[in-house]
Amino acid sequence: MSSVLRDKRTGMTDFDAESYLAQLTTRPGVYQMFDDSGELLYVGKAKNLKNRVTSYFRASGLSAKTMALVARIANIEVTVTTTERDALLLEHNLIKQYRPPYNILLKDDKSYPYIYLSSEDRWPRLSFHRGTKRRKGEYFGPYPSAGAVRSTLHLMQKVFKVRQCRDSYFRNRSRPCLQYQIGRCSGPCVGLV
């Protein structure tokens, strides 16, 4: 789907946002923004493609970087996905593969959160993780919501009573911790398992 107009006086292309947005789906997916030379500028994901892409063309409330991005748009391509999670994974892979310049400029210094289960010790640790996957263990995610990850961790720690403490704290315990006393840890640090 493309809506490009060419200015006869300058030869420059001009993205026709109004006609493009009129035919855009409301389903979840990924959108890719290109300049007039075909360079990929930005990759984004949306629960509702029409609402999200429309937000770039509002008259007010845009940052200077976002306005600079919008001024360069000559084409937008969308990929419809079944779920928002599928869109998140596709967006992540496309950004990793193509490294679009505006994804780096607009980045908020946060990566998507994961649930991390360590595998280096006899008693694994379950924790929230953001950033590169440097440590040995299982990483579950990425998830679009840090709040949802924290809620899930809270529930998992109640049900499975897997330790949450850092390795240095775990190795130096002589008594059960508060998490053990409130029923959220099985107490492996003091041999109660």
Q: Are 144 and 91 in contact (CB under 8 A)?
A: no
pLDDT at residue 74, as a whole number: 92
What mean pLDDT do residues 69-80 have? 93
Mean pLDDT of the chain: 84
Q: Is the dihedral of CA 103, 94, 128, 167 positive or negative?
A: negative
Residues 101 and 39 placed together within one structural domain of the fold: yes
Classify residue 44 by burial, with Cβ atoms within 10 Å: 0-12, 13-18, 19+. buried
Q: Is the pLDDT of residue 190 over 90?
A: no
Let me know whether 41 and 101 are in one domain: yes
**10, 74 Cβ separation under 8 angstroms:** no
* No. of helices (H) and no. of strands (E), the chain: 8, 8
Q: Of 12-21, 37-46, 177-186, which range is least confident?
A: 12-21
Both 71 and 26 in a single domain? Answer: yes
The total number of structural domains that make up the chain: 2
> In degrees rounded to 5, what are phi and psi of residue 149?
-65, -45
CB 84 within 8 A of CB 48: no
145: helix, coil or strand?
coil
What would the mean pLDDT of 177-183 be, rounded to a whole number? Answer: 85
pLDDT at residue 86, rounded to an integer: 94
Tell me which of 104 and 72 has the higher pLDDT.
Answer: 72
Taking alpha carbons only, the member of 38, 102, 22 closest to residue 68 is 102
- Based on the domain organization, do 127 and 172 belong to the same domain? yes
Domain residues for the domain of 177 are 114-190
Half-sphere exposure of 135 (CA within 13 A, CB side): 20
Position 60 scores a pLDDT of: 79
H or E, element range at 40: strand 40-46
Task: Mark whether 30 and 98 lie in a shared domain.
Answer: yes
pLDDT in tens, 29-50: 999 999 999 999 999 999 999 9
> CB neighbours of 17 closer than 8 A, spacing ≥ 6?
3, 57, 73
Q: Is the pLDDT of residue 12 over 50?
A: no
Cα–Cα distance between 139 and 126 in angstroms, integer? 10
Residue 115 scores a pLDDT above 50: yes
Whether residue 122 sits in one domain with residue 76: no
Among 58, 78, 105, give the residue marking a domain's end.
105
Tell me the mean pLDDT in the region 157-164.
88
11 pLDDT above the threshold of 70: no
Q: What is the pTM of this model?
A: 0.56
**54 pLDDT more than 90:** yes
Same structural domain, 99 and 120? no
Q: How far apart are CA 26 and CA 99, in angstroms?
A: 26
pLDDT of residue 85: 92
